[in-house]
Amino acid sequence: MSRLGQRFLAVFGLLVALAAGALLLFLLGQWLAPKLFGALPMWLPEDALAGAGYWFINEVLLWLPALAFSALLLTCSYQLKPGDLPRGENQALVRFAILAIVASVVFAASALLAQPWTAARLDDLAFRWNQTRQLEDEYLKLKALGPDKQTAADLDARMSLINRLGLLRPFQGQRSGQERMDYGFELAILKAHLDLDEFFRLRTVPGVSAQGDENTVTIDELLTRAESALADPTQDREYQANLWGVTAYRRLMNNADQGAPLDTKTLARAQAVVSLSWSRIYEKTLRADERLKASYFFRKGKSLGDFQFQNYLEAYYGFQELHREDPEDKEVTQHWELSRQKVAGQVLFSQEMDVLFAVPGSENLVFLNRESPPEVVRIGKLLNTSQGVFLKDFEFLRFDSAGRTLLHWTAPYGRWDEDGIDFRVWDKDEPRPQFPVVMAETPGNEFNPQASVDPPKFVPRVSVRELEVVNSNQPRPQTLGMWDLLVHGRGIEALGYNSRLFQTEFITRLGAPFGFFVAFLFVFVLAWSNRAHDSGRSWWLLVAVLPLVTEFVVQSCVWASRLAVGGALAVFGFETTTTALVIVFLAASVTGVVLVQRSFRKSMS
Amino acid sequence: MKDSVLNLLVFLLVFVAVAATFLGAYGISLILVPGGKGLIFASPYAAALLPALLAGLLTAQFRTVRRPGLFPVTWVLLAAAFFLLLTLSIPQVEKMPPVRPADATPLVPNRFLPLADGSLLLTSGKATVQVPPGGMPMTVSAETQFDAFNQRFVFSTGDPKALGSTGPEQAYYQYTPALAALQTDFLGVYSVLRDSAADHPILFWFQAWAVTWLFLGLFFFFSLRTWPLVHVVLILLLMRLALTFVVYSFWTLPVLVDNWTPVATAAWLRLWAPVVLLDVAAASLFFMTWLSKPWQREALS
């Protein structure tokens, strides 16, 4: 290797080591003293090590060009003397050209391959943290309601959330430390709660209020009282026993929520008390009211008929009501489950939508139809999932040229498919639809004037296929590979959108190694022409300071080149811009090589 | 004496060249982004003033330590030129038509939406924005927001071809953090001087002199015997630090004065304390310059 290469590599190695050390110290500072150095980027605990690694590599890669130029300046200004060069300007030029080409190839590998890859990994880790955080927030919000205020739907939602969290972070339990909750523990508690809650909820007699000391006496005392009340069937104290049994259960679960072990024997006693009291009340009620009994069988028959004739929504609510009345009826329970499965493809349940939208999605999408009359469609949140595209807080507004509202309606949730947006949203527990609400309408602009029972689908003038473009969570261009940039850009163009962003990134990234090569030539000329002829002591100052200045210049040049390429693309188009850049590069390269040769000649003469 | 005049000419020449470069860059940016959206300075002339002055000063100082002429004369000429250009330009710049309303808050992405009547709508949350496809009737609007206060939708008819007209583009073409910090500091210094020029002319002259004196004090660092490259890099960094110091004096010090002094004296102190602090720092550098005599030191080549 030539002395030029050796000395450049030595200085470059020193600068990279110093920069890496500084970055590591900064990372350490962020970890130990976040108030002083700023907080570390947010990563999940199991991703923290990988995240720190990616962050470190990404930062080093970003600094590489500045460090290379600084090393070249220092080498050629202070380290290299004309006597160190090979004899003959052509020999020297060849040696330098080899160095410039090798440096450009290394930079190209960094800019074209390594940087997008690390940036994409960092974005993935940030998204994982964000997604997990939002799901945990939603879970903890429901949990904070407490057992007394939580409904069956809340428990279902918690179960759904904890299952999704478990899928996202299967190894969460293996990491200790600053976790807000232990997924495994929460799941175990929930599983125990879910079945038991269903059991007690269905056997709780409504309308019985506590009047005594139920909340202060011990659980054991409560159950003893209930058992003695049920011991003599002639006393008619089943209602009281039911209340005591349910209260004992709730207090047991409260203790379990606090982390106390669940006493299975006491729980079994509570179950037995509640089951026996409820059975007696049910038998007595039906025996006393034959009409109610007849009604039960009549409604069951109707629901079975609904199911048979594929009126699944009616069947679902019918069986649900019957299941509440008699949870022991296995036929009802089975058909209720079946109808729930059938209904899932037809309507949305608002409670399930609440849980679904706990994860991050695109927010505040606004579509504008400029044709007269102008229309504005706003979507509060949009999720593109494997189950379909769902939207929340839909708002439609049509107005005249004077800005007066002609039609304005909103809908809480919807599902968007190729045929349009479906707004059939029902409450999971009650047969109560949550269809769009009309805020304002005028003659000739009524919402859905020919509608039957269900709201018709709304057909936006943007197709669901375009959601990929609309999605705010689409990857940043900086994180896409070269091939993906082309494919993504083409896809966007095919939809009729402008792909300038992806074209700009493609051209600037492709042009970066060539720009680096040209800059390498010019920096050499600058350094060699201004090399130090005299002795002095303070050049070492530049080892620490010069990379800071060159980094500022390099980043500013990158920013300016993006703007320039973007502007040229907007004005001249892709082909002209690319051709112009090739010409500029060729001209700059030739100029650079000539200048380098002249400076060699000057120094040798 | 001849070199003294030449040093002054170098200062003026570089000032004009840098200012012209800035104005040209602003012109191109206005072609690409109509309306001056995204620019930190409302006026290109205001944006060019301080960077051009500092670039001119650095170049003139660099020449002065090598060819000082009569150093006191050079110093006085440079000080007078810097001071006069600073003080006389600001009122003139304020008379120039800005590229967007001068009193408007600098447009920060996703924070303010300019309305047709010139007012700004503070947006809440993030708006997802995409380029409207040409010719399609339903488009994703870049700037449509619901103004809850007036119960109306507002949207612009901006040029979709304009650079940075969409959310992702705005993020992509955003200033680098270092560049944004530098421009913000320039804006901070300029806006204080501009307000003083309008409200407190006497204070304005003292502030402008303090700024001039402080940056001329950087002559002291040329007394370090080293190579030209080290000098240039060092002075560039020191200029950045001096700018941060001026911003601290103009913006942070008045707040500290408010917190730590009685109400009766706070109003007076908050105006003059920054000037005193800057003058003390500038005087220190000035006397060190005269003691170290950088123009008499043989420069390394």
For chain B, say whether A548 makes contact (Cβ under 8 Å).
yes
**Residue numbers in A near B180 (CB within 8 A):** none
Does the pLDDT at position B103 exceed 50?
no
- Domain range list for chain A: 3-129+499-604, 136-288, 291-351, 361-470
Could you give the ipTM of this predicted complex? 0.75
**Structure confidence at residue B237 (pLDDT):** 92
A558 against B109, higher pLDDT: A558
Mean pLDDT, chain B, integer: 76
Does the pLDDT at position B123 exceed 50?
no
**Residue numbers in B near A78 (CB within 8 A):** 227
**Structure confidence at residue B124 (pLDDT):** 37
Average pLDDT, integer, range B152-169: 51
Among A351-360, A448-457, B53-62, B161-170, name the one with the lowest average pLDDT: B161-170
Query: Count of residues for chain A?
Result: 605
* pLDDT band at residue B168 using 50, 70 and 90 as cut-offs: low
pTM beyond 0.90, yes or no: no
3-state secondary structure B12-75: HHHHHHHHHHHHHHHHHHHHHCHHHCCCCCCCHHHHHHHHHHHHHHHHHHHHHHHCCCCHHHHH
**Structure confidence at residue A403 (pLDDT):** 64
| Closest residue on chain B to A563 (Cα) | B173
A368 min Cα distance to partner chain B (Å): 5
Mean pLDDT, chain A, integer: 81
> pLDDT below 70 — which residues of chain A?
1, 147-148, 173, 175-177, 202, 205-212, 214-215, 257-259, 285-294, 363-364, 366-371, 401-403, 449-453, 461-475, 491-498, 534-538, 605
**Structure confidence at residue B299 (pLDDT):** 58
Q: Scanning the structure block, which residue is given the tokens 């300007």? A: A89
Share of chain B above pLDDT 90, in %: 34
DSSP per-residue string spanning A180-244: S--HHHHHHHHHHHHHHHHHHHHTPPTT----SSTTTS-HHHHHHHHHHHHHSGGG--HHHHHHH
Note whether A538 contacts B230, CB cutoff 8 Å. Answer: yes
Note whether B131 contacts A497, CB cutoff 8 Å. Answer: yes
Does the pLDDT at position B254 exceed 60?
yes
Note whether A469 contacts B130, CB cutoff 8 Å. Answer: yes
What's the Cα-to-Cα distance from A194 to each of A66, A154, A247, A253, A395, rounded to whole Å? 60, 10, 17, 11, 36
Share of chain A above pLDDT 70, in %: 87
Instruction: Write out pLDDT tens, residues A361-395.
Output: 776 676 666 667 777 777 878 887 777 788 888 88
* A residues 295-324 closer than 8 Å to B (CB): none
- Dist. CA A382–CA A363, nearest whole Å: 6
Which of A59, A364, A549 is the best substitution to test chain B (most B C-beta atoms within 10 A)?
A: A364
Closest to A542 measured CA to CA, from A194, A67, A31, A98: A67
Environment class of A268 (CB within 10 Å of its CB; exposed 0-12, middle 13-18, buried 19+): exposed
Handedness of CA A198, A168, A469, A386 (dihedral sign): negative
**Structure confidence at residue B191 (pLDDT):** 86
Does the pLDDT at position B142 exceed 60?
no
Among A454-468, B21-35, B127-141, B175-189, name the one with the lowest average pLDDT: B127-141
* A residues 344-403 closer than 8 Å to B (CB): 362-371, 375-378, 395, 397, 399, 403
Instruction: Write out pLDDT tens, residues A107-116.
Output: 999 988 999 9
Which of B130, B152, B234, B301 is the best substitution to test chain A (most A C-beta atoms within 10 A)?
A: B130
B7 against A604, higher pLDDT: B7
